[in-house]
A and B are shown apart, each in its own frame.
Chain A
Amino acid sequence: MKHLERKSIALPLKKDDDWRKVLKIKLNALKPGLIEIDCRDWQFNCRDIYKLASLLNESGCKLLSIQSDIPETIVSAAALGYQTQLAKNYNEGIAQQVDRNLPGKSSANTLFHKGTLRSGDHLKAEGDVLLLGDVNPGAKISAGGNVMVWGRLRGVAHAGKEGNNNARIIALQLRPLQLRIADVIARGPEEKPEPGLAEEAKLQEGRILIEPANPQNLQK
């Protein structure tokens, strides 16, 4: 196989310009190759990442990896199977280890927690929660908004605990004992998930539906 060139592209900051516009201009100036994208402060969901990847494809390039200051973006990219990297200066920004079994405090909308939740632990958030680590059997994670687990979810997760029906649960590996969205409860699937595919649970017509966090499903 021909050796492909590796290039990096940084998107503009959100306040400066539209990322699609800038990306197209930068791509025009590039030969086909493997591309690493620094998404800076853009918050992308799986659909955005998919969009970004197809823009690259259209100009003969291939998305290799994603870097970002925003954890949601990283999770979305990881969920789609891309290599990911949090920006270097990001770690200091992460909220310190939240005390075990204490509701997480966060002024912003998303509570970050780094580290695995072990049996008996309960991480709570008012808004969204992003866990960088596993949820072990016997541990629980709950949020008023979405639950995002950059790791394996094997315990109990509750999204939209104040009744938000649109809340979702997403994890790199979804193999929970129990899922709850708003006040709907579902037992985890019996069979093992396919490796390497992130999965997403959402509420549809009163039932919890689990499906691969697959770009096709996310497209409107």
Chain B
Amino acid sequence: MAPNTRTILICSGKGGVGKTTLTANLGIALAKQGVRTVVLDADFGLRNLDLLLGLENRIVYTAQEVLEESCRLEQALVKHKQEPNLALLPAGNPRMLEWLKPDDMQRIVEMLREIFEYVLIDCPAGVEDGFKNAVSATKEAIVITTPEVSAVRDADRVIGLLNTQGIKPIQLVLNRVRPKMIASQEMLAVDDVTDILALPLLGLVLEDEQVIVSTNRGEPLTLSGSNSPAARCYSNIARRLQGENIPLIDPAKEEQGLRAKVRRLMQTKIF
């Protein structure tokens, strides 16, 4: 039994801002640090956490069968091949949406808390029933947004709802940050976002093509120990969650770094 289990909901309001990608990468990164971690796919309407983790073909049972007592929890948990500290629990199939109640979600999470030190819940987009079910079973939350006005607006709404449910702490992850666009003021700056959302910033994730490559392969970036920009960001977020004090990256510096690199490249070409 893990007495200090942390249950963390990963949510956004707006769809497609990177919840599932964060859940998968954080799950792997935490497991690598030796903490027993389970990721729970609460987005059964459109489940794809299993896909991102490359575990799709190994799912036999879901939380639905566990709740119906037609299988044991251990049978439904899918252990990750390379990172045995990580397990996935698929919540169920799309039909489940209709009968799943907050109580059910709470029961599942209670069971998981017996075994794991971290329970990460991948939340569906929106603020409807799926979201409410997931919220009812969590203590903490990570709100993820991109630096876009519409995503920030939805994140703000979600934070308000989390506040009324007594979720604490709520931390912020800013995804798909493009230093160049911030520098040219084409994108909201980090300050603009934190100014409105008024949450502690758990981390930034840079825009990175490797995220897409890794998604298609079913191997989260943090798995291979890749040194790509986003991979570093995800690892840092995991370490901060664990209480390590790691300074945030500064988009302005990243941009200078990039420019310096390009300049060096150009110079080597010329000379």
Contacts and interface: CB of A to CB of B under 8 A. Distances in A.
Interface of A: 99-100, 116-121, 134, 136-138, 154
Interface in B197-249: 198
B267 interface: no
Nearest to A100: B164
Contact of B196 (A99, A100, A154): A154
Given A136-B196, A137-B196, A119 B156 contact: yes
- The A interface is mostly helix, strand or loop, or mixed, namely loop
A136 B178 CA distance: 25
A138 B157 contact: yes
B153 interface: yes
A104 B161 CA distance: 18
B164 A137 contact: no
A118 B196 CA distance: 9
Interface in B161-196: 161, 163-164, 196
Contacts of A99: 164
A138 B153 contact: yes
Contact of A119 (B154, B163, B198): B154
B157 A119 contact: yes
Contacts of B164: 99-100
A148 B223 CA distance: 52
Given A116-B198, A136-B196, A100 B153 contact: no
Contacts of A137: 149, 153, 156, 196
B159 interface: yes
B84 interface: no
Contacts of B163: 118
A120 B198 contact: no
A136 B156 CA distance: 8
Nearest to B156: A119
A21 B189 CA distance: 53
